[in-house]
Amino acid sequence: MRNAERDDIEMTARRERFLDEGFRIFAERGIETALMQDVAKASGCGIATLYRYFTVKQTFVIAVAARKWDQYFAEVEDEYARRGVELMNAAEELDFYLSMYILLYREHSDLLRFNQDFNGYVAHVGATRAELADYLRAIEPFARKFHVLYEKGLRDGTIRTDEPEKTMFNTTMHIMLAVCCRYAQGLVYGGENKEDLTRELMILKRMILNNYVQS
C-alpha cells in the first residue's frame, strides 16, 4: 500500500474516532459543558490534532450530529428492506414509520438526548442554514420516506390525504420525535428517569393512526 493511501486511511479512521468520542461525551455531559480537550484526550490525541480536522467546536458538533443521523438512517434502510415496506399499503407503512420512532427511543435514547441538546446549542450559537448543511442533508431522508408514504396514500386511499403533506408530516414526525426526546431525557411528570415508556408511545402512535388511517 502506498504511503498516501495509508495516510488517507489513517486520517479517515482518526476523524471517525473523533466523531464517535465526541458523540459519547456530548451525550453524557452535554454539548455546552463538554470541551474539545475532553474529546481529544478520549481519542488519544492532542488538541492540536483535533483542531486540524475541525477548526471550531460548532463545526465539530454539526459533524457529529450528521454522522449519527447518517448511521441511524442506515439502520432504518435495513429495517425497511427486511420488512418489505415497499409491498405495504400506505396505512401499513404509516404504522411502520411511526414504529421506527419508538425503536429510536428504545434503542438510541442517547441520540435523542444529544439531538435535543443539539437543537438548543445551534440556536444558541446562531448557526446558519449553510453551516447546518451537512446535518440537514443527514435528516432530509426521513422526510423523503414520508413523501413516498404520502404519495402511496394518494394512490391507494388507505390514509387521509385531505391535509397537505407538509402538515401531515409535521403533525406526525414532530409529535413523535418531541415526545420520544422528552421521554429519553426522563422529563416525565411523576415518572422515574429509567422508566420504560414504550406503552405510552404505542398509545400515541394509535392516536395518530386513528386520525389518519381510513376505516
- More reliable by pLDDT, 38 or 197: 38
Beta strands in 8-60 (DSSP E): none
186: left (phi over 0), alpha (psi -120 to 50) or beta: left
pLDDT digits (tens, 9 = 90+) for 35-77: 999 999 999 999 999 999 999 999 999 999 999 999 999 999 9
Domain edges within the chain: 1-55, 57-212
pLDDT digits (tens, 9 = 90+) for 90-139: 999 999 999 999 999 999 999 999 999 999 999 999 999 999 999 999 99
Q: Is the pLDDT of residue 26 over 70?
A: yes
Is residue 201 within 8 A of residue 210, CB to CB? The reply is: no
CATH no. for 57-212:
1.10.357.10
Q: Is the pLDDT of residue 23 over 80?
A: yes
Class of domain 1-55: mainly alpha
Residues in the chain: 215
Q: Is the pLDDT of residue 215 over 90?
A: no
pLDDT of residue 88: 97
Query: Residue 75 CB: number of other CB atoms within 10 A?
Result: 14
